[in-house]
C-alpha cells in the first residue's frame, strides 16, 4: 500500500506542478496583453486627442506658439500644451523608472525628441520650470526637463533663472520669476 501512496503522491505533485506552470504562463500572457492595451491607450491619446495633435503639429512644423501673450490670450493653446507636455513628461517618468522597455520607449521617442528640439517648447519649459522654483514647487514637466538634460537637449544654462538675459534667442521670461 505504501508504494501506491508514494506513486499517487508523486503523480499529484507532478500534476500540481504542471498546473502551476500553466497558470503562471496564462497569468504572464494576460499581463502582456494588459500592458499592450495600456500602451495602446497612451499612444492613441497622442495620435487622436485633437488638442495634443494641434500642439504636436505646431511643434513639428516649427510654428511659433510661445509668445508674450501666450498666458493671457483667450485663444491660447496653453491648456493643450500643458496637457501634451504632461503626458510626455509622464512618459519620461516611465522611462526613467525603467517601467518601459527599450522597444516601448521607441514608441514615444519621436514625440519626446520633437518637443525637446523645438525652441518654443524649450522657452515654455524654461518659464514653467523657473516659475515653479520661485513658488517652491516642482515643475509639472520636471521629468521631461530631466530627460532632456540626460539626452543632451537641455543644457546647464536651462537651470539658470537669469539665462534669458544671457541667451535671449534661447530663453525668455514671460512668467514672473
Grid cell in block for residue 110: 519621436
pLDDT at 56: 95
Q: Write down the domain spans for the chain.
A: 1-48, 50-177
pLDDT reported for residue 17: 87
The 8 Å CB, 24+ separation contacts for 78-84 are 79/51, 80/51, 80/52, 80/54, 80/55, 81/55, 81/124, 82/140, 83/49, 83/51, 83/52, 83/55, 84/51, 84/52, 84/55, 84/56, 84/115
**% the chain with pLDDT above 90:** 61
pLDDT number for residue 87: 94
| pLDDT of 1 higher than 70 | no
Task: For 122-175, write each residue's pLDDT tens digit.
Answer: 999 999 999 999 999 999 999 999 999 999 999 999 999 999 999 999 999 999
Return the pLDDT at 23. Answer: 86
Q: Are 123 and 171 in contact (CB under 8 A)?
A: yes
Mean pLDDT of the chain: 91
Amino acid at each position: 500500500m505504501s508504494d501506491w501512496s508514494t506513486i499517487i503522491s508523486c503523480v499529484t505533485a507532478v500534476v500540481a506542478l504542471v498546473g502551476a506552470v500553466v497558470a503562471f504562463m496564462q497569468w504572464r500572457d494576460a499581463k502582456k496583453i494588459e500592458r499592450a492595451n495600456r500602451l495602446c491607450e497612451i499612444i492613441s491619446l497622442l495620435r487622436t486627442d485633437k488638442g495634443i495633435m494641434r500642439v504636436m503639429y505646431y511643434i513639428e512644423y516649427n510654428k511659433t506658439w510661445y509668445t508674450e501673450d501666450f498666458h493671457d490670450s483667450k485663444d491660447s493653446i496653453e491648456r493643450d500644451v500643458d496637457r501634451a507636455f504632461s503626458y510626455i513628461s509622464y512618459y519620461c517618468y516611465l522611462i526613467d523608472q525603467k517601467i518601459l522597455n527599450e522597444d516601448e520607449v521607441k514608441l514615444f521617442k519621436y514625440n519626446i525628441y520633437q518637443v525637446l528640439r523645438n525652441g518654443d517648447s524649450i522657452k515654455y519649459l524654461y518659464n514653467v520650470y523657473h516659475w515653479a522654483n520661485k513658488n517652491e514647487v516642482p515643475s509639472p514637466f520636471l521629468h521631461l526637463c530631466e530627460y532632456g538634460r540626460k539626452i543632451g537637449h537641455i543644457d546647464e544654462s536651462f537651470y539658470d533663472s537669469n539665462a534669458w538675459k544671457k541667451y535671449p534667442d534661447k530663453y525668455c521670461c514671460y512668467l514672473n520669476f
